[in-house]
Amino acid sequence: MLRPRITPCLLVRDGGLVKTIQFKHSTYVGDPINAVKIFNEKEADELIVLDIDATANGAEPDVKLIARLAAECRMPLCYGGGIKTARQAKNIIGLGVEKVALSSTAIETPQLLTEISQEIGNQSVVLVLDVKRRAFRGGYEVYIQNGVKPTGRDPISLATEAEALGVGEVVINSIDRDGMMKGYDLELATRIRAATRLPLTFLGGAGALSDLTELIQACGVVGAAAGSLFVFKGAYKAVLINYPSADQKAELIRSAFTH
């Protein structure tokens, strides 16, 4: 039986673990390999690792780092950043990564998603949509190149097109909520959930376990991903890798489905 997934998302820049606020104000918070070791101990459901500068800088995927992450990780691992060809995706899967994530390149060249899914299987292909609320016209717009370049595309239409292109999962990342720790954009989440049957993961805004509960309550069986929530602790945001215990996770999910 499918169940909600609670997923830490680690952002990598120059080989280091960082956190951002609305895709800006990058702060170094440690070594991603050490973070993976701790999430192993805490038995996280899965892990997303995104190299946030690779595509924007035209860089290749950091194969050495990916190999180290995959060798250390004892949970399903999704990696994104710098993937431009089906060969690169296949090589990354060959290192022991379960899923590859694409964003800017795939939105500019949608057929790449089809090529990669034919090479590695659609269950291993994830489309990441970085989404910002339109200030004056209303609705939402997808941005690329690390949240800098607007596409003019609505995330709902892209999410609904994704399945036909060979995507197995869509991650919706709220730029407005990134690092704010004030809760998910539930309006965005419920609209996307209603538009597609694909597996979905939502990222951006979680600041407490109750935010995960609210997301699951609103959208059902989805992935609840978070960065700051699992990296910082307390009012002063001390760096401390954390994750809900098995009992906390069970109660969180039970509460979501009984209210």
Long-range contacts of 66-69 (CB under 8 A, 24+ apart): 66/92, 66/95, 66/97, 67/95, 67/96, 68/33, 69/32, 69/33, 69/36, 69/97
Task: Tell me, rounded to whole angstroms, the distance of Cα 38 from its chain centroid.
Answer: 19
| Cβ partners under 8 Å of residue 215, min gap 6 | 184, 186, 189, 202, 206, 222, 224
pLDDT of residue 259 exceeding 80:
no
> Are 175 and 143 in contact, with CB atoms under 8 Å apart?
yes
pLDDT of residue 204 exceeding 80:
yes
Pick the CATH number of 5-257 from 3.20.20.70, 1.25.40.10, 3.40.50.2000, 3.40.50.2300: 3.20.20.70
Phi-psi region of 61 (alpha: psi -120 to 50; beta: other; left: phi over 0): beta
Q: Provide the pairing of β-strand 140-144 with 149-150.
A: antiparallel
pLDDT attached to residue 57: 86
Query: What is the average pLDDT across 254-258?
Result: 93
Q: Provide the pairing of β-strand 5-13 with 47-51.
A: parallel
- Give the C-alpha distances (Å, rounded to integers) separating 254 from 44, 87, 94, 248: 18, 42, 37, 10
pLDDT attached to residue 19: 96
Confidence of residue 55 (pLDDT cuts 50, 70, 90): confident
pLDDT attached to residue 58: 85
pLDDT digits (tens, 9 = 90+) for 90-138: 999 999 999 999 999 999 999 999 999 999 999 999 999 999 999 877 8
pLDDT attached to residue 68: 97
> Are 186 and 214 in contact, with CB atoms under 8 Å apart?
yes
Which active-site residues does the annotation give?
A: 130
pLDDT digits (tens, 9 = 90+) for 136-192: 778 999 999 999 999 999 999 999 999 999 999 999 999 999 999 999 999 999 999
| Cβ partners under 8 Å of residue 186, min gap 6 | 214, 215, 218
pLDDT attached to residue 138: 84
Q: Provide the pairing of β-strand 140-144 with 125-133.
A: antiparallel
- Give the C-alpha distances (Å, rounded to integers) separating 45 from 5, 19, 35, 131, 210: 6, 21, 14, 24, 18
Listed by start position, the domains of the chain span: 5-257
pLDDT attached to residue 36: 98
Q: How far apart are CA 32 and CA 187, in angstroms?
A: 32
Give residue for tokens 């690092």: 179
